[in-house]
Structure formats: structure tokens, C-alpha cells
Amino acid sequence: MSQVLSAATRSLDEASEVAAPSTAQAVESSLVSQRVRVRCKGKCGAQWRTGTVTSTNPLEVQVDDWDSAHCWDQVEAKHELEATLALSRLSLSSDVQPPVAPRDSAKPDSLVGFATQRALPRSGGERAEEQQTQALVSQRAAELNLPERLTLGLSVDAIESYIAALPADAVEQCNENRPTINGVRVPANGALNGYVNQWLVARFSEANGGKAYCETLYERGDPGVGVATVFVSWFLETPLATLVDALRQYLRLHPELPPDTKFWVCDFVIRQSSRKLDVTMNDVKKLGECVRAVGHTVLLMEPFDNPMPLRRAGTTQSLCGARTASRRCIHTQASGARFEVVMSAEQQAAFETLHWWMTLTRSRRSCPR
């Protein structure tokens, strides 16, 4: 996403053909009310100044400590994503629909279209390619001395089936059994998230000989589990429903992938135990090898304007790891693996709409007088 608002010729006046007047006015009003912070400069000088957007038609910025706003030759987001992220908090009136970002016509426009497309039989070549990818995962795992069980993953359908079978009071059960650390009880969970799920999976594992969820299902021959080809890095406070939505969104955006693609999700792959912490930690220590073996990492950016995964050591560890005592490196980069970012459908729509709007409001203005 380009964060530069300058060097464009189309102003909001010209953009009226694309956006309905009521929508443009509503978004403009909200943009100004949000006091979006940007940096700007005129073509007569190279010094960047910081200020606040006061108008989008025309685009005017009032520099800090200045008495009035002016049009500037160049206007950029003050910080990467900051201006765009401020727009994510827009409060449009209920009778106004935000502008819809144009989509690639080659991609399905809805999950209904996606489901129809996915229902088409896959060619033998596609299936062979999938099997080849899984074989490469197994080969890399063998080279890393990684147990087969740590290469497993679940399909989205399998994760949904798991969630549907959980007790209605799962969150309450987990909260009642919250541990106390250093004399302080850990905070209660407000939703069925990764922390609650780990507690639930630990109960499952302890009832199945200490084996991980995927490990147990794999031994039973469950078709919902298999060699993972996508490693999911996520923040455990994320609701499971959001995780599922994001993974479905990812499949929708990648129609070349089979609908039963197996995703590596820590809760289900790592042996969870609340009684034997060393059992869990032994698997956690192999996190870097898991990333390398799978060879394809997807980071769940939720929410996109405040990505919690990047604030947590656990998630960061799945992206970064120590090769030596003095050198940190990116697991994904070191192994030449593929790296992508995914959002839930709601966050993706918000991001695309705001990106489109920022592009729409680009304008080139003369220096302030």
C-alpha cells in the first residue's frame, strides 16, 4: 500500500464520479473529525513538517503551531499505516455505505462463489502438486530430525467441527480453573480464544495418553488431519471464530489451494499439558524447526490497525529464532520459506476500503503562500 498522498492528479472533485456524494461527504467529515496526522512539505523547500488534516476537499493540512491550514505540494502519512489506520475508526451514518474497493475479477466475489468454485473437481495434476508439497514438508522435517507429529495440521472444516463440539460453557470452565502466577490470578477470558482452547486441548491430551490433538486424530485416520503446508502464526487472545474466518478468507484469496489444505496451528499440534509443563516446552523448543519444515508461514494480522501478534513473544518466536547465541534470524527467511499476511474478512474489507479511499484522496497542491 502506498502511503504517499502526493504526485497524483485526481482530486476529490474529480473522484465524485467514483464515490457517491453522500459517501464522500460522510467519509470526509469523519476523516477530519479523526484529526489524521500527516507530514507535508512544499516544493520550495525540502523540510518536512508535521500537521493535522483539516479538509480533504481541497486537501489541507494545518502544521503544528501554525495559525491556519494550507494546501501542500506533498502530503504523506506521518508513519507507516498511521493515516490509513486512523480511518479504520470512521463512524459513518447507518444510511451511508462506505466505498467498496475494486477486486481482482479473477477472484470470487463472495464465499458463495468461492464454495461453488471449490466444489469443482480438481485435476490429477493439482492433487499431485499438493502431494508433492506435503512430501517436501516431510523431507525437510526428516532432515531437521523433527517428529512427524509436529508436521501435522488441520483443515478449516476440521477446526470448525472441533469448535462446534465444544461445551457451551467452555469459556466459563476455563476461567474457573485459571492459574495463579506470582500470587496473581491470570485475567479471565472474554471469548473462546486460543488460551481457552489450549486449556481444553490439554484436557483432551491428558485423556489420550498425553498426545496432541492432531497426533491423536492422525492415528485414528481422521481425514481432517494431515501434513500441514501452511504454518499459522497468531495471537492466542484471538477468538477461534476469527481464526477460522481468516483461514477461510485466505483460501478464498488462493483458489489454487485445495479446500482441505492443512494448517499448522500451535494449540492442536503441540502436546498441551497443564500438569507437565516440560512436555509442552519440549515441543515449543522445536518451533523454529516446525516453521522451516512447513516452509510457508501466514501471519494473522488481527486487527490490522493494531496487530497484536507482533507484540507477543510467542508469535515473534515463530518468526524469529536464535541460530547462534549472538545472532538472531528470521526462520522463514533463513529457510527460504514463503511468508504472507492474512486477515479476517471484516478486517480485509476495512483495509481495502481505507486503502482505496487513501488512493482516492491523493492530490498535488501548490506551496502555501
Instruction: Reply yes or no on whether the pLDDT at 350 is more than 70.
Output: no
In this structure, the answer to whether residues 47 and 144 fall within a common structural domain is: no
- Domain with 127, as residue range(s), is 111-336
So what's the pLDDT on residue 22?
A: 44
Instruction: Reply yes or no on whether the pLDDT at 142 is more than 90.
Output: yes
Binned at pLDDT 50, 70 and 90, residue 201 comes out as: very high
In this structure, the answer to whether residues 84 and 174 fall within a common structural domain is: no
In this structure, the answer to whether residues 84 and 124 fall within a common structural domain is: no
In this structure, the answer to whether residues 122 and 246 fall within a common structural domain is: yes
Question: Of the ranges 26-35, 101-110, 272-281, 302-311, which one carries the lowest mean pLDDT score?
Answer: 101-110
In this structure, the answer to whether residues 56 and 145 fall within a common structural domain is: no
In this structure, the answer to whether residues 323 and 200 fall within a common structural domain is: yes
Amino acid in position 62: Q
In this structure, the answer to whether residues 50 and 120 fall within a common structural domain is: no
Quick check: is 331 in a domain? Answer: yes
Q: Based on C-alpha coordinates, what's the Rg of the chain?
A: 24
Domain count of the chain? 2
Binned at pLDDT 50, 70 and 90, residue 51 comes out as: confident
Instruction: Reply yes or no on whether the pLDDT at 26 is more than 70.
Output: no
In this structure, the answer to whether residues 90 and 45 fall within a common structural domain is: yes
Instruction: Reply yes or no on whether the pLDDT at 235 is more than 80.
Output: yes
Instruction: Reply yes or no on whether the pLDDT at 126 is more than 90.
Output: no
Annotate 295-337 with DSSP letters as a single string.
-EEEEE-SSTTS-GGGG-HHHHHHHEEEEETTEEEEHHHHTT-
Residue 10's Cα: distance from chain center in Å? 31
Q: In the predicted model, what is the mean pLDDT of residues 173-198?
A: 92
Instruction: Reply yes or no on whether the pLDDT at 36 is more than 80.
Output: no
Instruction: Reply yes or no on whether the pLDDT at 29 is more than 80.
Output: no
Task: Express as a percent the part of the chain with pLDDT over 90.
Answer: 33
In this structure, the answer to whether residues 144 and 44 fall within a common structural domain is: no
Quick check: is 7 in a domain? Answer: no
Binned at pLDDT 50, 70 and 90, residue 363 comes out as: very low
Q: In the predicted model, what is the mean pLDDT of residues 79-91?
A: 37
Quick check: is 341 in a domain? Answer: no
In this structure, the answer to whether residues 133 and 86 fall within a common structural domain is: no
In this structure, the answer to whether residues 76 and 159 fall within a common structural domain is: no
Q: In the predicted model, what is the mean pLDDT of residues 105-134?
A: 52
Quick check: is 3 in a domain? Answer: no
pLDDT tens, 285-332?
Answer: 999 899 999 999 888 875 544 444 444 444 444 444 323 222 223 433
In this structure, the answer to whether residues 183 and 262 fall within a common structural domain is: yes
Element (H, E) at 161: helix 156-164
Start-to-end CA span in the chain (Å): 31
Q: Are 163 and 213 in contact (CB under 8 A)?
A: no
Calculate helix-pair angle for 194-206, 240-253, nearest 10 degrees.
100
Backbone angles phi, psi at 90, to 5 degrees: -60, 140
Quick check: is 184 in a domain? Answer: yes
So what's the pLDDT on residue 108?
A: 33
Q: In the predicted model, what is the mean pLDDT of residues 272-294?
A: 85
Quick check: is 297 in a domain? Answer: yes
Calculate helix-pair angle for 156-164, 240-253, nearest 10 degrees.
160
Quick check: is 260 in a domain? Answer: yes
Quick check: is 368 in a domain? Answer: no
* Mean pLDDT value across the chain: 70
So what's the pLDDT on residue 160?
A: 96
| Beta strands per DSSP E along 78-199 | 152-154, 180-181, 184-185
Separation CA 88–CA 90 (nearest Å)? 6
